[in-house]
C-alpha cells in the first residue's frame, strides 16, 4: 500500500472541498458573518460533516507509525483560568462524536399553561389567568436566517487541520497515549464503531467518495497499529 500517495490524493481533494465550502458561505480570511440563510446553512452543514469525518480519518492515516515523547505534566500557574467553551483557541476535534441512545429531548417546551383561577364577580366563573405563550412577539418572527458562529468555527478548525497534518497526527498520538493510561475510558479509538458521521449511502457530493476512501484506509491503518 502506497500510504504517501493515498495521503497526497485525499489531502488535495479535501483541501479543494473545504476551499469551495469556505467560498460558498463567504468566509473571509479573518472575519465572517454571524448569520446565514437557512438553505445555505443546511447545504454547508451537509458538506462539512462528512468533510470533518474524512479529515479525522486522514489524520489517523498520517499518524500511522508516528512516535512522540509524552509531555511532562505541569501544574497550572496560579491566576490562570481556562477559557470558556467556544472562546478558546480553535482546535480540530480528533475523535468522532459518539451516537446518543435513549429518548430525545424536546426542542421546545411549548406554550406555558398557567393555572386557571375562577373568581366570582360581575362575570361569574371568569378565568383570572389564561393560556400564555412563552416568549414575546419577537420570538415568533422568522427572518430565514440561522446563527452560524459554531459552523464557521468548525470550518476554520478543519481548514487549520488540513494545513498542518503532521502536527494533528502528533496530537492524535498523544491523545491515544492518554487514553491508554486511563483506567476505564469511555472509548479508546478516535473512530466510532459503524458508519462515520456524515456518511451517505448515495454519493451526492465529492466529499462522500472521499469519506468512503479515507474511512477504509483509516480502518486498515488502525489494524496495522494494533497488530
* CB-based contact 37:171 (threshold 8 Å): no
CA distance 6 to 14: 12
Its pTM surpasses 0.95: no
For 217, the grid coordinates are 484506509
Q: SS3 letters for 26-70? A: CCCCCCCCCEEEHHHHHHHHHHHHHHHHHHHHHHHHHCCCCCCCC
What is the pLDDT, as a whole number, of residue 30?
40
CA distance 149 to 104: 24
Q: What is the b/e burial string over 84-115, where b = at least 16 CB atoms within 10 angstroms of the residue's CB?
A: eeeeeeeebebbbeeeeeeeeeeeeeeeeeee
CA distance 115 to 102: 32
What is the pLDDT, as a whole number, of residue 86?
47
Question: Running along the chain, 227 residues long, what does each successive block of 10 average in pLDDT?
Answer: 94 96 71 75 95 96 85 59 54 86 55 52 53 51 84 93 95 90 86 92 92 95 76
What is the pLDDT, as a whole number, of residue 31?
45
What is the pLDDT, as a whole number, of residue 164?
95
Amino acid at each position: 500500500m502506497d500510504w504517501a500517495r493515498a495521503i497526497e490524493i485525499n489531502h488535495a481533494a479535501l483541501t479543494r472541498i473545504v476551499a469551495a465550502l469556505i467560498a460558498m458561505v463567504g468566509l473571509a480570511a479573518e472575519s465572517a458573518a454571524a448569520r446565514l440563510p437557512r438553505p445555505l446553512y443546511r447545504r454547508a452543514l451537509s458538506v462539512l460533516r462528512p468533510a470533518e469525518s474524512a479529515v479525522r480519518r486522514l489524520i489517523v492515516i498520517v499518524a500511522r507509525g508516528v512516535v512522540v515523547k509524552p509531555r511532562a505534566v505541569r501544574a497550572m500557574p496560579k491566576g490562570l483560568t481556562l477559557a470558556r467553551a467556544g472562546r478558546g483557541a480553535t482546535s480540530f476535534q480528533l475523535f468522532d462524536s459518539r451516537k446518543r441512545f435513549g429518548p430525545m429531548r424536546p426542542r421546545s417546551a411549548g406554550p406555558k399553561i398557567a393555572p386557571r383561577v375562577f373568581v366570582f364577580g360581575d362575570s361569574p366563573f371568569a378565568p383570572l389567568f389564561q393560556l400564555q405563550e412563552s416568549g414575546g412577539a419577537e420570538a415568533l418572527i422568522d427572518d430565514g436566517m440561522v446563527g452560524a458562529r459554531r459552523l464557521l468555527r468548525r470550518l476554520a478548525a478543519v481548514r487549520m487541520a488540513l494545513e498542518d497534518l503532521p502536527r494533528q497526527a502528533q496530537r492524535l498520538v498523544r491523545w491515544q497515549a492518554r487514553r491508554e493510561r486511563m483506567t476505564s475510558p469511555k472509548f479508546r479509538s478516535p473512530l466510532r464503531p459503524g458508519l462515520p458521521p456524515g456518511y451517505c449511502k448515495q454519493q451526492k457530493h465529492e466529499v462522500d467518495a472521499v469519506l468512503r476512501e479515507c474511512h477504509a484506509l483509516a480502518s486498515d491503518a488502525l489494524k496495522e497499529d494494533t497488530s
